[in-house]
Amino acid sequence: MLSEEIPYTAAYAPAMSLREMMEAYGSDVWNYAFFLTRSREQANDISQEVFLKAYKNVGKYRGQSSMKTWLLTITRNTAFSWRKNSFWRRFIALGDQPIAVNAPSAENEALGNQYANRIWEIIMTLPEKNREVLVLDIQHGLSIAEMSDLLNVAQGTVKSRLARARDKVKEAIQKEERE
């Protein structure tokens, strides 16, 4: 679910409360944390930590990127820090569990929902670099430039990773349809 991007400038930073920040970007941060960790519990903890860090450091926000991109960067860095922690290594990611996709639950859309769930399952099996750009594109609607800034890689790298990810998903779907 994409949140509506709120125009945000550094001058506006002190006026935004923690609650407003969480309401505007909470689902984006949580979804991204979940895709990085494959664990609901980890995503909950990381999301809380992200918003506390962001609120504490909102005065340092320079406005060079959107607030959403800034928060997703904090999310990414926090998730990677958790991975490096020895506590994190004791747990196995829950990647084999079905991924829930927000979709209408009407009976006539059940087949479409199953198909969407399967696509997300395929996406979750992609190598991390490919999965990450695809999630940022599909789930968060970031542009190539925003992904480049967030991931600290060239725009060409983002484009090639995105193309590879899309190709791998397409190949997996075609393979399943043949079977």
**Cα–Cα distance for residue pair 25/55, rounded to 1 Å:** 12
| pTM across the whole model | 0.55
Query: pLDDT tens digits, residue range 3-50?
Result: 444 444 444 444 567 788 888 999 999 999 988 888 888 889 899 999
Helix or strand run (H / E) with residue 132: helix 128-138
**Cα–Cα distance for residue pair 104/82, rounded to 1 Å:** 34
The conformation of residue 4, written as its DSSP 8-state character, comes to P
**Cα–Cα distance for residue pair 113/177, rounded to 1 Å:** 16
